[in-house]
Amino acid sequence: MSSDMFLGYYGTYKRFDTVSKKDAPQLLGADNLVGDRFEIEFITKNGVSTAWMKNRFGGLVGYFDPETSRQLQIFQARGWVVTALLSFVASSNQGANRSYWGEAALVCYDPSDHGEAFDAFVATIGEMMRESIRPDISLGKDGVSHIVSSGGTWKPTGRIPLPKTDDNTAILKQGRSLNESLVEQARKGNKGCYLLSWIFILAVVAALVAVGWLLLSSFGVI
């Protein structure tokens, strides 16, 4: 366990997994955006508690391994804020099976000690992650001091690279697309962005139809 916990703060990146490939559409959709903040919900089965990521719409999208779950449960028992931010989503082929997984930035902190600054810091790193930036959040005393002194607006300069993958694994989502950003703005009440998101989708569909028509024409099918 990181020594950062003794500073009233703990941050790291951890892998999460999904139950089956049926979870993929939800995880890849606009309800689960990179940089989004997720609650941690513990589900106990056969005496074992597992930490799940729950999005803002109440959907459970992925779970953490037993060691990570135990660690998060300890923080929660201490009264700390325990939260996660989606970093990326990946897909792996394992023989005849395909699995979907990813990583989340886990940020835990004592709300009684500069809680507002840490809340703001979570929002700050979420903004960075939307731009496909993976800031180093495993901060020591100096980093925590920067968070407090800046009121949470300080941006870590260190970066964490994506994990190495093999030919059987693909990173499907590691930032926000234009359409996802437009959808998010529409949810905030920006009707213009809502209209633009539909225009964008229709333009993509039209382009695909045009390409298909050209291919069929070139082969003399039509």
The DSSP code sequence of 89-120 is EEEEEETTEEEEEEEEEEEEE-TTTTHHHHHH
| Global pTM value | 0.79
pLDDT (0 to 100) of residue 195:
55
Kindly list the averaged pLDDT for each block of 10 residues, start to end, along the chain of length 222: 68 95 83 94 95 95 97 96 97 84 97 94 96 95 95 97 92 75 55 52 56 55 50
Q: 62 is written with which tokens?
A: 């992925």
Strand partners, 63: 17, 52
- C-alpha 192/C-alpha 180 separation (Å) is 14
- C-alpha 75/C-alpha 1 separation (Å) is 11
pLDDT (0 to 100) of residue 64:
98
Strand partners, 100: 91
Decide if 98 contacts 79 (C-beta within 8 A): no
Length of the chain: 222
Contacts with 143 (C-beta within 8 Å, 6 or more apart), sequence order: 156
Answer left, alpha or beta for residue 63, where phi above 0 means left and psi between -120 and 50 means alpha: beta
3-state secondary structure of 17: strand
Contacts with 31 (C-beta within 8 Å, 6 or more apart), sequence order: 55, 57, 59
